[in-house]
Amino acid sequence: MEWAIKGQSELLHMNSSVVKHNFSLEIFVHSKNVGNIALRIGEKIKLEQIEKQKLYEAALLHDIGKSKIPQSILYKEGKLSSEEWEIMKKHAVYSEELFLSMVYKSKQNIEIGEIVRYHHENWDGSGYPENKAGEAIPLNSRIIRIADIFDAITRPRVYRPFKIKNTMKLMENMKGREIDPYIFDRSYNLLKDLLEDTYSKNTKSWRESKEIE
């Protein structure tokens, strides 16, 4: 697709800048996963092509602001203190700022920046950085929120060195709180299929996965 080629060429330019900001391989892989999942969700809810372009680029870059978070916080194995959590939450705004510092500030890029900025807002208004709620959150940010959560809980993390087995149940409990219930319902079968596909690979990390409340 033309937009994908354009997006990729722009991202290649960005990647050289991001490397200078100590953007880790782990976050890069996570962002690629989120981009691919978000794009699949966007196709499921029949986003227009231009919106899918903005969605994909925002998803690929949603965590670049973590390059400005101290590694002692970013890779802490235990629970973050309240002060550390406040620092961590700044990454959403940092991601927008870093993205806009690397691109021409066109209307579309400003919109992509906003999608990035609000990817941690929750449907019920309990998210950050601005406690936006419901449809006040950009649609593409709501899609990335679902894709981000899905990838995060189906991959081992520094603070949780195992995958979570009861992924779909946990996400169902997030409907109407962290995530948009309509988008989740429309993408439920897609996410379930993606999960079953990873189960089928029977990797060591899935054999060691756990259920959590």
Please name every residue paired with 160 in a beta bridge, in sequence order, or none if there are none. 157
CATH superfamily name and code, 2-207: Hypothetical protein af1432 (1.10.3210.10)
Dihedral of the alpha carbons of 176, 55, 132, 76, in degrees to the nearest 10 = 90
- Span 155-166, mean pLDDT? 61
- Span 178-186, mean pLDDT? 97
What is the 3-state composition of the chain as percent helix, strand, coil, each rounded to the nearest 5? 65, 5, 30
pTM passes above 0.95? no
Cβ contact 22:164 at 8 Å: no
What local confidence, expressed as pLDDT, does residue 212 receive? Answer: 55
Residue 163 has pLDDT above 80, yes or no: no
Q: Identify the CA nearest to 195 among candidates 146, 163, 154, 144.
A: 154
- Per-residue pLDDT reduced to its tens digit, 83-110: 999 999 999 999 999 999 989 999 999 9
What amino acid positions are annotated as catalytic residues? 66
Q: Identify the CA nearest to 148 among candidates 47, 61, 86.
A: 61
- Per-residue pLDDT reduced to its tens digit, 66-83: 989 998 998 888 889 999
Structure tokens at 48: 């227009």
